[in-house]
Chains A and B, each alone.
Chain A
């Protein structure tokens, strides 16, 4: 448990760092309409070693809109603490001006208007420019480039090439090491095939064979950069076999494996590492708890929960970095390593404003080549939206409402269930809904849209189970992701209650009647973790719906009542 004292120290530290670094003086620059590549890259260097972190890119080769959540609840010790802040609370904590470039990049506020001002973010060709610039400034031998995973999933091209497009892009970027989560949904064989051949290390200390409890992947690798020996330990998403289909990786066991991690840290130190970096896909709250229990880690590069923070959090001696998702940001941390310790550091979350950063020519050409065979499909216009379509948020998003509506109608169901994924881009009013946008929100290897009967009790059990996965007060019991999205049904949730007491007032919206635990309801859903699930891929269901409606207008969904936050 993190004590109150630790919390105050952490808060003070984060604030101090934000003042000193953060996103830098972008707000002022933006006010002067001078959002330039030089300003984004500007960094007062420190020490010899630079670590660059990218994560949760979800195969987004191209710039996109991505609206950060308007609701992102922390529970237990994490209640009201960064990164569980949104809107004004986020601006207050990190000292960000309303309407500034940082505000647009990091919060949901006034998204539509700010999107017009500041444009799309990300793009692997822009990221290449930034990484090349850092390498040329610091010297390539002094820079370590680490990828937190969720890289080979989330786009049509990566689904069609079984992750090869992203493997090629990340290889060209000269990534040193990565860890993983959604990669495993390509299946054990494919992941092994890539990991064995890739020029980067695929690290995961927390995966063992079921039969013999032998390590499946290399746990750690040591790099000599900036005159220091840097040990990097990989931590894959510990709940992969629960959150995603276990049958795809049936011979592997995961888990946090704290004891094994403690041993890896000790071994790394014994083998002469100057500093130890955890390249983690645990999720931010899990890493914060882990940092208070596992000593000897200098830097934790967090991932999974898609949090972006313009400053680091210190827990004990560990520096926690949160780089966001979808290629919106790149983290740079300069470290002054002395006597096997971090004597000082400087951090900046670099926002990848695609209109301000020039694309790297070689990477741009590579991306064009990757996309060419699919260009026709990707650009196909399915409908137009008059509403803001987004996904991220604890309970619902309009893009999910669209998917649920499509399932209710096309699958003739009373209730629709859509998983609470945190990936998938945003569309602003007036945008075309292209097949590319739809596939960014749905492309995955178990997309079948089932239709079946479930009792009211089963529906309740599912909501309770998923809620406990998000709102358990102990982060080690949290699995990440957001609440399952529901169409055709409303409910109330008290996030402060224990499991099986959070959900109440389940109502069938069509009739206004309470959900009867004993009655069966026709339910459509997708992304079932069970093998052999039948039904058309979800993108076909949504495409058909869009062909019918042609124009999407969605009011904010008010069918989930939240309390206890």
Chain B
């Protein structure tokens, strides 16, 4: 069987197959940094945010953009007088900026949680923590979503 005669048929079969994973639908509109800012503004209009307290646990490079592990842990007591009230996670390169929101009570004992999210492309993940006294903290990390590699 010659390769030349076989190639057209194989070509038709493989034509629809993406060589490398995670090629996006061409017309999908993605969120931008401004959309994340707007979403935060909607929750906490005009309030200032400090860095610190939030430990974001994210891979630097996603092994699979479809299920990217995300973990948060907030350094804080969890007493009636001083606790973490809520944590929100945003992504600035997905169709919608919101990923997940957690509400905590002092009974939680610890403000930590983890989940899996889908990331459409390389983008920043932003976490905002709201403390019981109303103060806000934020953290940001970029996660690289690669279309494939040639390691070796």
A residues whose Cβ falls under 8 Å from a Cβ of B: 181-182, 210, 237, 239-244, 246, 253-256, 410-412, 419-423, 450-454, 458, 461-462, 465-466, 468-469, 476-477, 479-482, 484, 499, 522-523, 525, 527-530, 532-536, 540-541, 544
Q: How far is the CA of A527 from the CA of B19 in the complex (A)?
A: 10
For A256, the chain B residues whose CB sits under 8 A away are 60
For A541, the chain B residues whose CB sits under 8 A away are 3
- B15 near A453 with CB under 8 A, answer yes
Q: How far is the CA of A458 from the CA of B147 in the complex (A)?
A: 10
- B11 near A451 with CB under 8 A, answer yes
- A454 near B19 with CB under 8 A, answer yes
For A466, the chain B residues whose CB sits under 8 A away are 149-150
- A452 near B151 with CB under 8 A, answer no
Most chain B beta carbons < 10 A, residue from A410, A452, A499, A540: A452
| 22 sample A-B contacts, Cβ–Cβ < 8 Å, listed by A number | A181-B151, A241-B64, A242-B63, A242-B148, A243-B150, A243-B152, A246-B64, A253-B69, A410-B3, A411-B7, A450-B14, A451-B14, A465-B148, A479-B61, A479-B151, A481-B149, A523-B19, A525-B19, A533-B19, A536-B3, A540-B3, A541-B3
**Is B25 interfacial (CB 8 A cutoff)?**
no
For B64, the chain A residues whose CB sits under 8 A away are 241, 246
A424 (CB) vs chain B CBs: closest residue: B152
- B146 near A465 with CB under 8 A, answer yes
- A469 near B149 with CB under 8 A, answer yes
- A421 near B60 with CB under 8 A, answer no
Q: How far is the CA of A530 from the CA of B16 in the complex (A)?
A: 12
Interface mask (B108-152 → A, CB under 8 Å = 1, otherwise 0): 000000000000001000000000000000000000101111111
**Is B28 interfacial (CB 8 A cutoff)?**
no
Q: How far is the CA of A182 from the CA of B152 in the complex (A)?
A: 8
- A450 near B19 with CB under 8 A, answer yes
With A240-B151, A243-B152, A450-B14 known as contacts, the answer to whether A476 contacts B60 (CB < 8 A) is: yes
Most chain A beta carbons < 10 A, residue from B7, B59, B64, B122: B7
For A469, the chain B residues whose CB sits under 8 A away are 146, 149-151
For B43, the chain A residues whose CB sits under 8 A away are none
Distance between B83 CB and nearest chain A CB, rounded to angstroms: 25
- B61 near A534 with CB under 8 A, answer no
- B149 near A239 with CB under 8 A, answer yes
For B14, the chain A residues whose CB sits under 8 A away are 450-452, 533-535
User: Which of B3, B63, B67, B69 is A254 in contact with, Cβ under 8 Å?
Assistant: B63
A474 (CB) vs chain B CBs: closest residue: B60
Chain B interfacial residues counted at CB < 8 A? 30
Interchain residue pairs A-B with the least CB separation, the first 4: A243-B151, A419-B150, A421-B152, A241-B63
Distance between B114 CB and nearest chain A CB, rounded to angstroms: 9
Distance between B54 CB and nearest chain A CB, rounded to angstroms: 16
B21 (CB) vs chain A CBs: closest residue: A530
- A477 near B144 with CB under 8 A, answer yes
With A450-B14, A477-B144, A529-B20 known as contacts, the answer to whether A239 contacts B61 (CB < 8 A) is: yes
- A534 near B10 with CB under 8 A, answer yes
With A451-B10, A477-B60, A544-B3 known as contacts, the answer to whether A527 contacts B150 (CB < 8 A) is: yes
- A237 near B146 with CB under 8 A, answer no
- B60 near A530 with CB under 8 A, answer no
Q: How far is the CA of A465 from the CA of B17 in the complex (A)?
A: 19
User: Which of A239, A244, A246, A530 is B17 in contact with, Cβ under 8 Å?
Assistant: A530
Distance between A247 CB and nearest chain B CB, rounded to angstroms: 10
With A242-B63, A246-B64, A255-B59 known as contacts, the answer to whether A530 contacts B20 (CB < 8 A) is: yes
For A453, the chain B residues whose CB sits under 8 A away are 15
Q: How far is the CA of A256 from the CA of B15 in the complex (A)?
A: 36
- A481 near B150 with CB under 8 A, answer yes
Q: How far is the CA of A255 from the CA of B150 in the complex (A)?
A: 16
Distance between A529 CB and nearest chain B CB, rounded to angstroms: 5
B114 (CB) vs chain A CBs: closest residue: A213
Other than the known A461-B147, A523-B19, A525-B19, what 18 A-B pairs have Cβ atoms closer than 8 Å? A182-B152, A240-B151, A242-B148, A242-B151, A255-B63, A411-B7, A412-B7, A420-B150, A420-B152, A421-B152, A450-B10, A462-B148, A465-B20, A465-B146, A522-B11, A527-B150, A534-B10, A544-B3
Q: How far is the CA of A558 from the CA of B71 in the complex (A)?
A: 47
**Is B29 interfacial (CB 8 A cutoff)?**
no
Q: How far is the CA of A544 from the CA of B13 in the complex (A)?
A: 22
- A423 near B10 with CB under 8 A, answer no
For A482, the chain B residues whose CB sits under 8 A away are 150, 152
**Is B45 interfacial (CB 8 A cutoff)?**
no
- A452 near B19 with CB under 8 A, answer yes
For A452, the chain B residues whose CB sits under 8 A away are 11, 14-15, 17, 19
**Is B34 interfacial (CB 8 A cutoff)?**
no
- B7 near A528 with CB under 8 A, answer no
A529 (CB) vs chain B CBs: closest residue: B148
- B146 near A421 with CB under 8 A, answer no
Distance between B149 CB and nearest chain A CB, rounded to angstroms: 4
B18 (CB) vs chain A CBs: closest residue: A530
Distance between A538 CB and nearest chain B CB, rounded to angstroms: 12
- B20 near A479 with CB under 8 A, answer no
A249 (CB) vs chain B CBs: closest residue: B63
Distance between B73 CB and nearest chain A CB, rounded to angstroms: 12
For A451, the chain B residues whose CB sits under 8 A away are 7, 10-11, 14
- B60 near A239 with CB under 8 A, answer no
- B20 near A462 with CB under 8 A, answer yes
Q: How far is the CA of A254 from the CA of B151 in the complex (A)?
A: 14
For A241, the chain B residues whose CB sits under 8 A away are 63-64
For B150, the chain A residues whose CB sits under 8 A away are 243, 419-421, 466, 469, 481-482, 484, 527
For B60, the chain A residues whose CB sits under 8 A away are 256, 476-477
User: Which of B13, B23, B151 is A458 in contact with, Cβ under 8 Å?
Assistant: B23
Q: How far is the CA of A459 from the CA of B29 in the complex (A)?
A: 22
For B18, the chain A residues whose CB sits under 8 A away are 530
Q: How far is the CA of A557 from the CA of B7 in the complex (A)?
A: 27
Most chain A beta carbons < 10 A, residue from B11, B64, B122, B147: B11
For B148, the chain A residues whose CB sits under 8 A away are 242, 462, 465, 529
- B152 near A530 with CB under 8 A, answer no
Distance between B67 CB and nearest chain A CB, rounded to angstroms: 8
For B144, the chain A residues whose CB sits under 8 A away are 468, 477
For B21, the chain A residues whose CB sits under 8 A away are 529-530
For B23, the chain A residues whose CB sits under 8 A away are 458
B19 (CB) vs chain A CBs: closest residue: A528
For B152, the chain A residues whose CB sits under 8 A away are 182, 243, 419-423, 480-482
